[in-house]
Amino acid sequence: MKKTRASLAALALGLATAALAGCGSDSDNAATEKTPSPTTSDTMTATDSPAGEPIVVVASTNVWGNVAEQVGGDAVEVTSIISSPDQDPHSFEASASNALILTKAQLVIENGGGYDDFMDQLLKAHDSSATVLNAVDISGKTAAKGEELNEHVWYDLPTVELVADEIATQLSTLAPDEADTFTTNATTFKSKVDEVIAAEGDLKSQYDGDAIGITEPVPLYLTEAAGLVNKTPEEFSEAIEEGDDVSAAVLKETLDLYTDKQVKALVYNEQTSGPITEQVEKAAKDAGIPVVPVTETLPDGLDYVGWMQQNVNALGAALAQ
């Protein structure tokens, strides 16, 4: 997700400074999900945990925010900075209120890997004392030589389990009396994730080696776990992800995957669509190839496990056609 990183970093830094100067407004909250408003003091540090007060957690997206809610339960108040499935994370612009809420945070969860660099900029702008968890770092994943890391690690279910455990550990440090509850909640959450991992395995047993196409690398951890082979030219998916132009030759090679029925499904990031990806989607539909939409943030009405199970079910239904 590199389209706007440089501009976001500069904007975030400026807005954070404005926030600390008291320049936030109600309109800044449009892209922020809060439930409910924090009651902790503006001067709280990451080591403070007054009896009866919830732990204030801030996540870059509602994906990680929901995982924190699953683990923390009633002992946490979670704010997710990006919370709408209609919000394009590529073009997200941090607000002054985003910076302000980070001044209250005791635990911060970011994706890392360059996906949400605005979080680091906001944290540095006010010298936050919050504990920061970076999902990519926790995953242990690194890019192969000459390649870029696929930073969409929330589609890698074992990584999500690792993050849940680390959230439980850090929450236990902040509220030791609740440690057993956090551990139990994490175990329960992971048991549900294990069911989705099993469903991925079922797909692999049926469709291992089958070919699919994508528009961006967003779902690749999931499709690879299902044994599927991505046939989309890397030049195409990288150009779409980074907002670059796609050459005529690469576009034709991509469209041929569908017109020539070389793939069984198109897994389509509907959260960042545009004229080129819509052309690919149309080619797939015209050829009778099923399209499986995916998103980068949690859809309304679903928790993380329900969302991932829905994705696996949709992929299975498409492959069965």
CA dihedral (201, 206, 210, 216) in degrees, to 10, reads: -40
Beta carbons of 125 and 13 less than 8 angstroms apart: yes
- In this prediction, residue 29 carries a pLDDT of 37
Domains of the chain: 5-195 (3.40.50.1980), 202-319 (3.40.50.1980)
pLDDT of res. 2: 44
How many of the other CB atoms lie within 10 Å of CB of 235?
Answer: 16
What is residue 70's predicted lDDT score, i.e. its pLDDT?
98
Res 12: pLDDT:
40
Q: Which residues pair with 76 in a beta bridge?
A: 55
Say what the pLDDT of residue 132 is: 97
pLDDT score, position 90: 64
DSSP string, 191-245: HHHHHHHHHHHHHHHHHTT-EEEESSSTTHHHHHHTT-EE-S-HHHHHHHHHT--
All residues at 6 or more sequence positions from 143 whose CB lies less than 8 Å from its CB, including other chains: 149
* pLDDT for the residue 96: 85
**Residues forming a β-bridge with 132:** 108
Provide the pLDDT for residue 216.
95
Q: How many C-beta atoms surround the C-beta of residue 308 within 10 A?
A: 25
pTM over 0.75: yes
Q: What is the structure's pLDDT at 231?
A: 98
In a structure prediction context, what are the per-residue pLDDT tens digits for the chain, which is 321 residues long? 444 333 334 444 444 444 344 433 333 333 444 433 333 333 334 444 556 799 999 999 999 999 999 999 999 999 999 988 777 666 677 788 888 889 899 999 999 999 998 898 888 887 788 999 999 999 999 988 888 899 999 999 999 999 999 999 999 999 999 999 999 999 999 999 999 999 999 999 999 999 999 999 999 999 999 999 999 999 999 999 888 999 999 999 999 999 999 999 999 999 888 999 999 999 999 999 999 999 999 999 999 999 999 999 999 999 999
